């Protein structure tokens, strides 16, 4: 009878032991597996993330810089967290800039991996997220952060006067992300790329006219410029200086975008070249 019980116990424990060994193997590979070296990483939303062919913003940068540029941008994501009631448990929030910055600092992307497994509005999400685990972040030289238009379109609060690090506001999330990254990677060059001028075609208005609840797009841009200076990071002001939206005419959306927000090939070439030049501005940058 005792022998039978031991056999039963072995049957029960065997799957658990196999699962445990599998987890240990995955953890070992995560820490010791072959890493990929990138000098430049771009984080952001669909402006960078959705196009991934040879005309993409990161491909344009690679051509100019002569080095690999990792496209770590996810369409539809924001700088800030959006779902207060569920805190950071919502899938969209795990891919927000502030949550991703924390995962980069700790080099633990378990939450994001679980999220994109169950929610991937774009087919590139799982592969792009998996790529983060293979990056040797100690060798990354430049991190580009491009966010803001989705915060604006979602009507995210600009700032919380009582809590400057409130991650449910655009300003608080940006401060939190910069603080985390600068503390963990003090030698990392960070370039903030502001949102690009856009048009809201549904109502035939531009971002200078449409307020989604907490300000115009320029209000988000100006706050980003202020915080960038506060933290001493580099800034690429695409809103005021890229030339997109410079004529002040509604029809201009057709020149650089496909829908008023997302860039066409000409727009991607323009912004990709601006980003590449911002990266190369450093005296110690060599191709």
Give pLDDT tens digits for 162-180: 999 999 999 999 999 999 9
pLDDT on residue 146: 98
**Whether residue 271 sits in one domain with residue 174:** yes
Model confidence at 19, in pLDDT bands (50, 70, 90)?
very low
Copy the structure tokens of residue 7: 């056999």
**Whether residue 46 sits in one domain with residue 25:** no
Question: Looking at 83-97, 105-119, 177-191, which range is the least confident one?
Answer: 83-97
**Whether residue 58 sits in one domain with residue 2:** no
Report the candidate in 253, 279, 249, 250 with the shortest Cα–Cα distance to residue 266: 253
Q: What average pLDDT does range 167-196 have in this prediction?
A: 97
Give the residue numbers spanning the domain of 183.
36-280
pLDDT on residue 248: 78
CB atoms within 10 A of CB 10: 10
**Whether residue 48 sits in one domain with residue 185:** yes
Average pLDDT for the chain: 87
Question: Looking at 24-33, 169-178, 181-190, which range is the least confident one?
Answer: 24-33
pLDDT on residue 2: 47
- Total domains in the fold of the chain: 2
pLDDT on residue 17: 47
Does any domain span residue 44? yes
**Segments in the chain forming alpha helices (H):** 2-32, 46-49, 57-65, 91-94, 97-106, 110-118, 125-132, 149-153, 170-184, 217-231, 238-241, 253-256, 265-280
**Whether residue 94 sits in one domain with residue 43:** yes
pLDDT at 136 over 70: yes
Does any domain span residue 46? yes
pLDDT at 118 over 90: no
In this predicted model, what pLDDT tens digit does every residue of 44-59 receive, in sequence order? 999 999 999 999 999 9
Report the candidate in 120, 100, 123, 97 with the shortest Cα–Cα distance to residue 111: 100
**Whether residue 151 sits in one domain with residue 21:** no
Percentage of the chain surpassing pLDDT 70? 83
pLDDT on residue 282: 60
């Amino acid at each position: 009878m005792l022998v039978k019980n031991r056999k039963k116990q072995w049957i029960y424990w065997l799957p658990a032991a196999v699962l445990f060994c599998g987890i240990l193997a995955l953890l070992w590979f995560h820490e010791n597996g072959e890493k990929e070296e990138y000098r430049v990483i771009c984080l952001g939303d669909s402006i960078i993330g959705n196009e991934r062919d040879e005309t993409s913003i990161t491909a344009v940068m690679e051509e100019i810089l002569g080095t690999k540029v990792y496209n770590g941008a996810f369409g539809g994501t924001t700088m800030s967290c959006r779902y207060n009631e569920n805190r950071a448990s919502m899938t969209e929030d795990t891919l927000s800039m502030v949550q991703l910055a924390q995962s980069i600092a700790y080099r633990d992307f378990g939450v994001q991996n679980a999220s994109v497994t169950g929610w991937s509005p774009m087919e590139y999400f799982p592969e792009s997220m998996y790529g983060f685990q293979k990056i040797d972040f100690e060798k990354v030289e430049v991190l580009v952060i491009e966010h803001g238009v989705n915060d604006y379109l979602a009507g995210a609060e600009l700032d919380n006067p009582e809590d400057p690090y409130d991650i449910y506001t655009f300003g608080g999330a940006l401060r939190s992300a910069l603080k985390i990254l600068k503390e963990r990677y003090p030698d990392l060059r960070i370039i903030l790329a502001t949102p690009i001028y856009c048009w809201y075609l549904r109502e035939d208005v531009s971002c200078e006219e449409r307020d989604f609840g907490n300000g115009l797009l320029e209000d988000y841009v100006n706050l980003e410029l202020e915080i960038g200076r506060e933290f001493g990071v580099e800034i690429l002001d695409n809103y005021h200086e890229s030339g997109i939206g410079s004529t002040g005419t509604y029809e201009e959306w057709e020149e650089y975008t496909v829908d008023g927000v997302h860039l066409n090939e000409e727009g991607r070439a323009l912004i990709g070249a601006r980003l590449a030049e911002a990266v190369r501005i450093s005296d110690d940058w060599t191709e």
